[in-house]
Chain A
Amino acid sequence: MKVKEKIIEGLLLLCGTIGVFTTVGIIWVLLSESIGFFTRVSIWDFFTDTQWTPLFTEKHFGILPLISGTLLTTLIAITVALPLGLSIAVYLNEYAPKKFRHYVKPCLEILAAVPTVVYGYFALMVVTPILQKFFPEMSGFNALSAGVVMGIMIIPLISSLSEDALFAVPKSLREASYGMGATRFQTSFKVLVPEASSGIIVSVILAISRAIGETMIVAIAAGQQPRLTFNPMVPIETITTYIVQVSMGDVARGSIEYQTIFAAGLTLFALTFLLNNLSFWIKKRFQEKYE
């Protein structure tokens, strides 16, 4: 009996450590292939060269164009998602009737449940043609429509996390504000939002991290042309798109092209890792405030 219990506990512990193995695996895989890459390309060039052309005969390995493409689409997405998401959070938290909330929240969740390849289709086939009516010079692949659609996708991420943060504000503060004769609007934006700001910031950081790692929307709608620009009308390429682009083709293992996707992946991982940990850090400080 005792032995059986111990065996089971051991097996469960093994399951519990799967996360550590995954993390170690990710870091090891990214580093080991990237080291191969950086023996051939200097880190200096990687971060300063303004061209990324590993698949051409004249090769350049400057990650900046991919980073700029990634940041551009992310910036557009957040510009769409933050005002909408925060307004939804405030509305649902302070204004909405209970019944409305009950039915609307699962609907918002659907936005996050739709596969991203479907959003890619929307960006390319629906949003781009609409935008082209306003901006005739816009190309078929561009950062704008990919960013906008991505923004719509991450609305629920910002709205639900921000709503939680608003909800966590002590009731006494809210009552104090109403007691002074403040309206819901004033209470929300002068008391609740500032009070919940760290929670809201966390939601935005997580949304940024999600947008940076998003792949299919940009791979379908933003193009495959790495270029160092912040013009949202022209085709660009993100880090994730580049990895997909190379994976779709036939590259030999050990070749420099193969290694580039791990160097690009390492850059992406580092970015999201930093953002995620920043959000943990803020969250932890925020929790301490109310304890």
Chain B
Amino acid sequence: MNNSKINQLKDNAFKYFGIGCTLFGILVLGYFLVNIAIEGIARINWQFITSLPSRIPGKAGILPALIGTLWILGLTAVIAIPIGVGAGIYLEEYAKKNRLNNILEINITNLAGVPSIIYGLLGLEIFSRIMSMGGSLLAGASTLSLLILPIIIVATRESLKAVPKSLREASFALGATKWQTTWMQILPASSGGIVTGVILALSRAIGETAPLIVIGALAYVPFVPSSPTDEFTVMPIQIFNWISRPQKGFIINSAAAILVLLLVTFLMNGIAVYLRNRWQKKVKW
């Protein structure tokens, strides 16, 4: 066999190796999901969704955790969206290229790399203790808002960047102010990308466990939170709690709860991907 044939062979071999690697992660995840579905799917029923936690696995449910997660989702959205989009607008549309704004930018990239548990320590001191929010929904949502702000800011900036200069010029030339131009033209034109980024960020927030544990979210919550100052738990913490129990029944519960959590997460990601594709198709300036 000559050299060039060996090279051809190597080339082809890598092709199949590459397909194998690409599918490996996906197949492993698929295997995990099938595994968890077999374990948990039978446990999902109305009782499971609507019951409070219990010492008996068969009687336990995820109601407080599910409602807690929805609360966290809503509150985090209310806090993080205006601040994140506002910051994105400032950095992309208003900020001049000077040192101060350069620092603001580097800073945000840096924050995206800070481990989530560190945000937990920040929230514990600032929100829970100094602002005396304790282990409340508000403290949790504030902490998670800080965590996902970098994602929202970056997504906002990318979307704003995609709006062509001609649109801004058209608006300015008619006598619109900067804010009128931003609010009436640029934001609507970039909304698809911003919404996509926001949904992805929020889906990240509802999957977070560690920072909420650190700020003092409870593992055992026998009530449904009804106001932002209430103490709470969320789906991931409930899952963590059940995984840590030795009884088989709780493991099954955790598998079932994971299925519910994954359903919500995948749904949000799916919507985000759908919106992104639609937006990319629509935007052809």
Contacts and interface: CB of A to CB of B under 8 A. Distances in A.
Interface of A: 1, 4-5, 8-9, 11-20, 22-23, 25-26, 29-30, 33, 83-84, 87-88, 90-92, 95-96, 104, 106-111, 113-118, 120-122, 124-126, 152, 155-156, 183-186, 188, 206, 209-210, 212-216, 219-220, 240, 243-244, 247-248, 253, 261-262, 265, 268-269, 272-273, 275-277, 280
Interface string B230-266: 0000001001100110000001001100100110011
Interface of A: prevailing SS: helix
B216 A247 contact: yes
B15 A91 contact: yes
Which of A25, A111, A156, A185 has the most chain B CB atoms inside 10 A of its CB?
A185
Given A25-B122, A248-B213, A121 B239 contact: yes
Given A9-B94, A113-B204, A117-B209, 7 more contacts: A23-B110, A87-B17, A87-B22, A88-B21, A243-B121, A244-B214, A261-B121
A33 B236 CA distance: 28
B146 A22 contact: yes
The 9 nearest A-B residue pairs measured at CB = A213-B115, A91-B18, A115-B207, A15-B86, A16-B90, A12-B90, A215-B210, A183-B11, A276-B113
B271 interface: no
Contacts, number: 256
Q: Among A14, A83, A120, A273, which residue has the most Cβ atoms of chain B within 10 A?
A: A120
B126 interface: yes
A114 B251 CA distance: 19
Interface in B197-245: 200, 203-204, 206-210, 213-214, 216, 219, 236, 239-240, 243-244
A72 B113 CA distance: 20
B8 to A, nearest CB: 7
Contacts of A110: 26, 29, 266, 269
Interface stretch (B46-54, B101-109, B159-167, B184-192): B101-109
Contact of B91 (A16, A184, A268): A16
Contacts of B208: 115
Given A30-B121, A152-B25, A269 B18 contact: no
A261 B203 CA distance: 27
Contacts of B136: none
A120 B14 contact: no
A115 B261 contact: yes
Interface residues of B, number: 88
B177 A1 contact: yes
A247 B236 CA distance: 15
A121 B26 contact: no
Contacts of A220: 240, 243-244
SS of B interface (majority):
helix
B29 A247 contact: no
A40 B279 CA distance: 57
B121 A19 contact: no
Contact of A185 (B14, B111, B153, B273): B14
B22 A92 contact: yes
Nearest to B110: A276
Contacts of B149: 18-19, 22
A23 B35 CA distance: 41
A153 B31 CA distance: 14
Contact of B11 (A155, A185, A277): A185
